Amino acid sequence: MQEQVKGESELRYAAISDTGGREQNEDAYWIGRANGYHIFAVADGLGGHARGEVASGMAIRALRETAGESLSTMELPAVLERAFQRANAAIYAYNQENALNAGTTLSVAIVDGSGRCWIGTVGDCRTHIITPSSVWHTRDQSYVQSLVESGAISPAEAMHHPGKNILTQALGLATRVRVDVDVQEIAGAVLVISSDGLHDYVPESAIQAIVLAGDPDEACRGLVDAAKDAASTDNITVIVTRA
């Protein structure tokens, strides 16, 4: 089943979440506004863990609540930290109450009117900033990412590594979580947030070509199609935003 959301204001954006190669979609996403900021987020409930779809939904709900309460009063890095820790605590409590181990990854981008972007990451959902000459993306909190950074394997080899799904951080599995925060500019660029059902299967160069070739809605459909053509075995969720 495929879901789409499109919007247009100062930014043009679209999103698609597709079940892909799974029987159930454990991904969740949100596109919202609060206190003049745009907020974009993708969460990927952990496959093989009990109730991954509950965890991803709880993460998005915690983000929405925190954005509504805190964007007018707190600095952006503090808002991201609060949202992630709030989500982590809620999912962890749910696990303790139900003897489960539900977990999720989450990537969030908060964009102001000038195109400045604050990004928070736990796990291996990715936020990309793409121009015709470059692709930047967040650092995965994963075992394979540590191998890439040590030079043991290349980024291309990481896409096929048998341990690519081993995470070093996820929401809901411990009392605290480490949140990576980045600050970037997206003016004149394309912002893409994806679950690993896309970027574990489609190379950066192909993602770049697809998002630069069309409008956000066309790019979303093209990215999902590319992931399926690459035999993605996971749910596929993408948000594409043009500044």
Is residue 159 within 8 Å of 201, Cβ to Cβ?
yes
Beta bridge partners of 8: 12
pLDDT at 168: 92
One-character DSSP codes across 89-129: HHHHHHHHHHT----EEEEEEEE-TTSEEEEEEESS-EEEE
Q: At residue 97, what is the residue type? A: E
Is residue 107 within 8 Å of 179, Cβ to Cβ?
no
Q: Which two tokens stand for residue 198?
A: 């896309």
pLDDT at 141: 86
pLDDT at 159: 74
pLDDT at 9: 56
Residue 74 CB neighbour total at 10 angstroms: 14
Q: Kindly report, residue by residue over 135-145, the tens digit of the pLDDT.
A: 999 999 887 77
In tens digits, the chain (243 residues) has pLDDT values of 455 665 555 799 999 999 998 989 999 999 999 999 999 999 999 966 678 999 999 999 999 999 999 999 999 999 999 999 999 999 999 999 999 999 999 999 999 999 999 999 999 999 999 999 999 999 998 877 778 777 887 777 777 777 767 899 999 999 999 999 999 999 999 999 999 999 999 999 999 999 999 999 999 999 999 999 999 999 999 999 998
Q: Measure Cα distances from 119 to 93, 139, 179, 208 in Å.
A: 25, 11, 10, 19
Is residue 49 within 8 Å of 92, Cβ to Cβ?
no
Triad 40, 67, 99: Cα angle to 5° = 90
Q: Kindly report, residue by residue over 66-102, the tens digit of the pLDDT.
A: 999 999 999 999 999 999 999 999 999 999 999 999 9
